[in-house]
Amino acid sequence: MAGLHKHTIHKEHGHNGWNNAFKPALTIAPGESVDFETRDASGGQINVNSTAADVPKIDLTMVNPVTGPVYIDGAEPGDALKVTLLGFQPSGWGWTANIPGFGLLADQFPDPALHVWKYAPDGKTPAMFGPGGKVPIRPFTGTIGVAPAEPGLHSIIPPRRVGGNMDVRDISEGTELFLPIEVKGALFSVGDTHAAQGDGEVCGTAIESPIGVSLKFDLIKGANLKFPTYRTAGSVSKHIDGKGYEVTTGIGPDLMQGARAALSGMIELLAKKHGFKPVEAYMLCSVCADLKISSIVDVPNWVVSCYFPRQVLE
């Protein structure tokens, strides 16, 4: 991607955690664009030759490294940073893991598991999984945000008001993201790029993949956003919904328990109907199934649905 835009930041210019005292790797003016290299979410601890035995060895203090920060001239607290996602350069490989103690059903899946993916960098060929799964590629940025006002080092794992590890599948090519700014210069960083993910990222990992990303930055003065907002460039599901969905539900007074029930139902369906091992179905749901709140008005019970795209298996 070098040469397409005015600036490039290599993956060596990165950090773990958020801290408004970090020295900027680059200073730009509003309206300029930057090409970012990224590392995978493990920070290089998982590679194409890794096995499930390597998963428990992951040092969680090293996960989700981000590239940056970028200082934007003129950015002040109360402004919004508009980030336009111009394009991606996928690497062609990635990984999905069940990490013990992590994920929506961590209590049901205590053992480590790992799938290493290979995919066509042009995105035209789906990534293959287990006994017949074919997952369409749609790159996006899992962690994207600016520094918080509170001093000190903060974990990069939870998302926060200024963005961060949001894992929003639709922050992809063409999307315009608006981030609340809390510190002078904004101090923007990006990483944790994914080749594909379902809404919910239910096992805790997507197709974690080092992917280059090109971004354009603009300032909106005095926007006073409470939380990030974004605007997509078009349909967000046409890459995966051509053959419809298998759908399971969870119904009850607790949305989290409803989500767990809907996901458990889908894992059972995939295991019985398509021959996946339960942990394989769990990881596959994480990269392509969507959790949705279908109803939240009919007191006292709410409906959560798990949508699994049939074209992955047909």
- Alpha-carbon distance of 312 to 130, in angstroms, equals 11
Q: What is the dihedral of CA 280, 39, 236, 298, to 10 degrees?
A: 60
pLDDT of residue 123: 84
pLDDT digit string (tens) for the chain, length 314 residues: 444 458 999 999 999 999 999 999 999 999 999 999 999 999 999 999 999 999 999 998 899 999 999 999 999 999 999 999 999 999 999 999 999 999 999 999 999 999 999 999 998 888 888 767 899 999 999 999 999 999 999 999 999 999 999 999 999 999 999 999 999 999 999 999 999 999 999 999 999 999 999 999 999 999 999 999 999 999 988 888 889 999 999 999 999 999 999 999 999 999 999 999 999 999 999 999 999 999 999 999 999 999 999 999 98
Query: Which CATH entry fits the domain spanning 245-312: 3.10.28.20, 3.30.930.10, 3.20.20.70, 3.40.50.300?
Result: 3.10.28.20
Q: Which fold has domain 7-231?
A: Jelly Rolls (2.60.120)
The number of beta carbons lying within 10 Å of the beta carbon of residue 97 is 27
| Sign, CA torsion 76/62/193/247 | negative
- Alpha-carbon distance of 127 to 96, in angstroms, equals 12
Mention every residue, 6+ apart, whose C-beta is less than 8 A from residue 154. Answer: 17, 18, 19, 148, 160
Provide the token pair at 309: 């795209």
Whether 7-231 and 245-312 share one fold: the answer is no
Which position has the token pair 């300032």?
219
pLDDT of residue 131: 67
- Alpha-carbon distance of 201 to 36, in angstroms, equals 24
Sorted by where each begins, the domain ranges of the chain are: 7-231, 245-312
- Alpha-carbon distance of 56 to 197, in angstroms, equals 22
- What burial class does residue 265 get, using C-beta atoms within 10 Å of its C-beta: 0-12 exposed, 13-18 middle, 19+ buried? middle
The number of beta carbons lying within 10 Å of the beta carbon of residue 124 is 9
Q: How far apart are the first and last CA of the chain?
A: 35
- Alpha-carbon distance of 24 to 47, in angstroms, equals 29
Confidence (pTM): 0.94
CA–CA distances in Å: residue 302 to residues 105, 215, 259, 292: 19, 38, 10, 11
